[in-house]
Amino acid sequence: MDSRTGYIWRNACLLLAAALHVLGSRGPLDLPIARKLTHPERDDIVLLEWGYDREIQEIAVEIQTPRASAVALGFGPDTSLNKTDFVMAGWDDNDEPYFYDAHTDGEWPPVKDKSQDYTLLHLSRNDTHTVLRVWRQWFTCDRHDHEIENDTVRVSVVFGDGEQLELTDDNTFRKSIFFLELLYHPKYPEVMIRHDFILNDFLIPEVDTSYACTFLPMPRVPKKHHIIRYEAIEDPVSLGIVHHILIYFCPNKTEITSEVGDCYGEDRRFSQCMSATLGWAVGGEPFDYPEETGISIGTESDPQYIRIEIHYSNFENKQGLKDSSGIRIYYTPELRAHDSGTLMTGVLTFPMQFIPPASEAFRNYGICNTHLMEDVLNETIPDLTVIAYLLHGHLSVRGMRIMHYRNGTLIGHLGEDRHYDFRFQQSRNFPHAVTLKMGDMVVVECTSNTMDREGVTFGGPSTLNEMCIGFLFYYPILPIAMCLSYIDIHYMTSAIGLERADTIMDAVINIYGFEWDDESKEKAQKAVMEVTHLAMAENWEVDH
């Protein structure tokens, strides 16, 4: 940031702070949202509670730890504690309370900030617990304070005895949190029926990556019902190994088998169902559809079978684990106004997507041209109402956003997280539904960091491969499974100085063996920004 830009930013920040000061705080905030922080080696927990005001942009956070004389509450972009914003509180050797705003810059203990931007609301302890509650504005104009935005925040809680609080693995609890999640209290209908889709006692292969699929019947109902909620069934045996669970709705002409097989192997039956309608990934929580919409089941045109897909990442090659994970749905005969659908957007998962090694922030893009959806269906499509989103990448992804263009102009985002965490993939609702018009462009951007990798990272199904996918929850439903794109790989190889290959796979092999340097990585990034995208939209009712 140059001096002029810094001057503009400081003045803009001060003006914002002044405006919020005029609005004034509404007093102590309620703390209606709560999460538990656990530790793999401890039986006790840390309880985190918070509440926020979106209008005047302030937040209150409380932690309850096991009894301690010193506690530290940290907000940061990652789990390294580098550049983490901390609040330090406790009692000194004379039993006098202390409290201050601090930060880390790669070293412990945190250093006290020149600008003290947190307000202490409560500090107490009893025989079993210590409680700390603080208040702050989302934006404080202090570069050492972590801004509260629509991003994942890595919360760290450290506690112990003595004012010189030590940092150890045993006394540090961490969890990724989305502070600005919508507080949604759904009004459940009087009649709500539960149904489970499960892979029973599946023997997890002793390999890094595997995909297990089978077909399961939908619940049989005599008339139309709506699915209004779903959640993961996580088998304790396979915690940390199950990467994601997807439920694909199947056309009623699908060839069904009761066998369990490799989703992307030789059995082509598993490629018949491509409409990913319900899904869970690492860190996800239950999802409730807004009261105006739900997933239709029970009509003649609704699926009679689903394909369940479970991705296992057994990096420790554990033996003999039998998994019974799945998805639980809740459905009701009390119908809602709209039938909801799920649209997969982003980059087609294929090795034509690649990230050079030792790249700090390499960007990939997938484009959805909504005109193609009308072309595929050969009919006029009404405006779509987008109600929620789910971002999905793998281990190298550090940031994701779904950009929304109309007439060539960026008009907003259909999802964004600048601090994406692979282990915290949660469906997120919008404060206000967004209208998607036919002709709009949906662009999914993924920013990856491969500084710890010596070879090229390609798009693919393994956790060590990459994906760049955005799921949009919307209504009214369309028979469209996905709207994705992939790049002209021959243009990319030419841009970095490789000769044109005869086939796509030969081009991928040439990229795999390429000797990368800073100049070639810059050329590749420039080419990604300029390359032609081959866009595709797919009707989920077509034969495969």
Mean pLDDT across 415-433: 92
The pLDDT-based confidence of 543 (bands split at 50, 70, 90) is very low
Quote the mean pLDDT of the chain: 91
**CATH number belonging to domain 189-338:** 2.60.120.310
75 phi, psi to nearest 5 deg: -120, 125
User: Active site residue: 392, 394, 419, 533, which one?
Assistant: 392
- Annotated domain spans of the chain: 25-177, 189-338, 340-544
Q: What does DSSP assign to residue 349?
A: S
The pLDDT-based confidence of 431 (bands split at 50, 70, 90) is confident
Q: DSSP secondary structure string, 196-252?
A: EEE-TTEE--SSSEEEEEEEEEPPP-SS-EEEEEEEEE--GGGTTTEEEEEEEE--T
The two tokens of residue 322 are 């039998």
State the amino acid at position 231 in one-letter form: E
Task: Name the least confident of 153-162, 470-479, 532-541.
Answer: 532-541
Model pTM score: 0.90
- C-alpha–C-alpha distance, residues 279 and 284, integer Å: 9
340-544 CATH fold: Jelly Rolls (2.60.120)
- Whether 330 is a known active-site residue: answer no
- Whether 244 is a known active-site residue: answer no
* Three-state secondary structure call for residue 4: helix
What's 255-292 look like in SS3?
CCCCCCEECCCCCHHHHCCCEEEEEEECCCCCEECCCC
Q: Residue 81: its pLDDT value, please?
A: 81
Q: Residue 3: its pLDDT value, please?
A: 41
Is the model's pLDDT at 540 over the cut of 80? Answer: no
- C-alpha–C-alpha distance, residues 47 and 480, integer Å: 42
Superfamily of domain 25-177: Cellobiose dehydrogenase, cytochrome domain (2.60.40.1210)
> Sheet of 409-417: strands edge to edge?
362-369, 441-448, 397-406, 409-417
Q: Count the neighbouring beta carbons within 10 Å of the beta carbon of residue 304.
A: 17
Q: Residue 167: its pLDDT value, please?
A: 92
Is the model's pLDDT at 79 over the cut of 60? Answer: yes
Give which of 273, 355, 347, 336 is closest to 525, Cα–Cα.
355
The two tokens of residue 350 are 């294929």
Mean pLDDT across 154-176: 93
Mean pLDDT across 508-537: 94
Query: What confidence tens digit (pLDDT) does each residue in 225-251 have?
Result: 999 999 999 999 999 899 999 999 998
Is the model's pLDDT at 9 over the cut of 60? Answer: no
Task: Name the least confident of 20-24, 224-228, 467-471.
Answer: 20-24
Q: Note whether 64 and 72 are within 8 A (CB).
A: no
Q: Residue 176: its pLDDT value, please?
A: 94
Is the model's pLDDT at 517 over the cut of 90? Answer: yes
Q: Count the neighbouring beta carbons within 10 Å of the beta carbon of residue 6.
A: 11
Reported as type and span, the H/E element at residue 5 is helix 3-23
Domain 25-177 matches domain 340-544 at the CATH topology level: no
Query: What confidence tens digit (pLDDT) does each residue in 309-364 have?
Result: 999 999 999 999 999 999 999 999 999 999 999 999 999 999 999 999 999 999 99
User: Active site residue: 52, 118, 146, 211, which one?
Assistant: 211
Mean pLDDT across 35-62: 94
State the amino acid at position 101 in one-letter form: D
